[in-house]
Amino acid sequence: MYIGLGVFAQSYTLDSSFQPYFDIRNQRNVQVEDLLELPSSNIIVSGNFRIAIGPNQTRDGLLSARRTGSLNTSYTGSSNGGGELFFLWDDVFISTPSSTSGQVDTNGNEFNRPWFLNYIRTVSCRNGIPYFFSDGSSLFANGRDNAGLPCKIINAPDTFPGRLIVKVDSLGLYDSTFTHDADSGAPRGFFPYDSSRILVYGFQDSFSHYDGVPINALCRIFLDGSLDTTFTSPLKDTSEATLRHIAYPALVHNDGRFMLKGRFFIKGSNQLHTLARFHPDGSLDSSFDFRNQAIDTTSLNLAVVLTTVMTEDRGYLVGGNFNKFQGYVKRSIAKLDSNGRVEPQYFTSLGPDSSYFFGNLLAPINIIKKSKFGGYYVGGEFLKWDGQPSQPIIRIHGLQNGVGLDEEGSSRTSELSIRLYPNPTKGELNIKSETEIVTLLIYNALGQLQIESEPNAKNIQLELPNRKGLFYLQMQDSKGNRITKKVIKE
């Protein structure tokens, strides 16, 4: 695991340099759903809100701001938005197609109007998250009509049979050359896996087959739509599912491992899960702690993870609808290490409020987006942060002054090789190093320094502080190599 232990107090705290120009807190059911960061560092935000940008001029569900939070005056378009945002090209993005949105350039100007008009006429009950190819063509899921049949695809004057998966060409017209389809329930969306493959996902009680092959609510396909047979769904057989649970792909690692978030059942388990990591072939990555995760104690139910992003130290930030994570009090946001375990020293303050418009006990976090220019944007349905009034989009600082070294099991190798034993321990700890340890710092789970010493030795014996729990050992050897390890005192 890769751990940053530098300045705890400055990590994941509110970035006061981001001051939104808008105030949408008094609106009903206000929420932020997605965010795109432009190469200029300006941001596009989508959600359920209305903002005033001038006399008698408003935007519904779409706004643009500079990195400081001030109004982006170069964004002059009047397009509305809401829902997911996708980059089509560097200077053109798409908000989830609806009757009021389509392709828009980064200055807000409508782009390719004929495509948009064709697209919204192609299928009337498209749903879920589409997949956009580089030429502007796309895949999307198709719903059912009032008779329970897949909705028909209509490009006047031609009418095509109903389908559950539809490909639309770069002109926004139905592409009849795409013949692959689901056989039962429609998928809920598509997620890019790599440059040549796509993850297709849906509800566990309905999305059961793709091209006649059982896929248990998750499959991987090639860009031409053919099924990737090297992948097997890790999810429980859909015939065993009785509720509309769903696993959303969250992110793909460089080595092909991928994350699933949401509420879902894994094969061989009757427990609902909210976050798990899997190998490229779909098998469970058991090195990631996927049990006892997001909990909503107000209803005594397992809650839901809605967003996750990899951090600077190869761990994860996770957000969603929960007030406990792995037994630790965490209000809709938590920091995990690279093995999926909570690092309890982060997010110990109030965080997002629990009393937005409807007075619900939890204030969900819908998105966490890492900024290329530093920090993370956090959006959701909160109206306070750490007890102070806040817009439902903030920016927090990332890890600062972290050690930047990995333990065993990560993709990086430290030059400093150290063995700790026993671990877990009752109190006494032995440290054995190939090189002389010159500095040793021990922190508790809250990031408070407990022991500081200069042992100048390869073999060290020490007694951990009286309190039981998690401790971090930060060590540096005579060659300047550093490493951080975790020890549990029972």
pLDDT digits (tens, 9 = 90+) for 252-270: 999 999 999 999 999 988 8
Looking at residue 405, its pLDDT comes to 30
| 26, pLDDT greater than 60 | yes
Looking at residue 416, its pLDDT comes to 60
Alpha-carbon distance of 312 to 169, in angstroms, equals: 38
| CA atoms within 13 A of residue 150's CA, in its CB half-sphere | 20
- The mean-pLDDT minimum among 99-103, 106-110, 376-380 falls in 99-103
Is residue 33 within 8 A of residue 379, CB to CB? The reply is yes
Alpha-carbon distance of 187 to 215, in angstroms, equals: 11
- What digits encode the pLDDT tens for the residues 412-452? 334 467 889 898 889 899 999 988 998 888 887 666 778 88
Question: Could you name the CATH architecture of 414-489?
Answer: Sandwich (2.60)
Give the pLDDT mean for 143-156.
79
| 223, pLDDT greater than 80 | yes
| 107, pLDDT greater than 90 | no
- The mean-pLDDT minimum among 46-55, 383-392, 402-411 falls in 402-411
Beta bridge partners of 166: 140
Give the pLDDT mean for 35-49.
90
Q: 118 by DSSP, 3-state: which? A: helix
If we measure between CA atoms, which residue out of 97, 126, 125, 123 comes closest to residue 110? 97
Looking at residue 193, its pLDDT comes to 97
Looking at residue 108, its pLDDT comes to 75
Percentage of the chain modeled with pLDDT above 70? 86
| 359, pLDDT greater than 70 | no
- What digits encode the pLDDT tens for the residues 471-487? 888 888 887 777 778 88
Looking at residue 400, its pLDDT comes to 58
Burial grade of 294 (CB within 10 A; 0-12, 13-18, 19 or more):
buried
- The mean-pLDDT minimum among 66-75, 219-228, 350-359 falls in 350-359
Is residue 190 within 8 A of residue 130, CB to CB? The reply is yes
Average of per-residue pLDDT values in the chain:
83
Task: Please tell me the pTM assigned to this model.
Answer: 0.79
Looking at residue 348, its pLDDT comes to 86
Beta bridge partners of 485: 473
| 460, pLDDT greater than 50 | yes
Looking at residue 1, its pLDDT comes to 32
Which of 302 and 134 is assigned the larger pLDDT? 134
In this prediction, residue 9 has a pLDDT band, given cuts at 50, 70 and 90, of: very low
In this prediction, residue 8 has a pLDDT band, given cuts at 50, 70 and 90, of: very low
Looking at residue 276, its pLDDT comes to 95
- The mean-pLDDT minimum among 118-127, 177-186, 199-208, 459-468 falls in 118-127
DSSP assignment letter at 135 = T
Give the pLDDT mean for 103-109.
76
Give the pLDDT mean for 295-319.
85
Domain ranges of the chain: 414-489
| 57, pLDDT greater than 90 | no
Give the pLDDT mean for 103-126.
78
| 402, pLDDT greater than 90 | no
In this prediction, residue 336 has a pLDDT band, given cuts at 50, 70 and 90, of: very high
Is residue 482 within 8 A of residue 403, CB to CB? The reply is yes
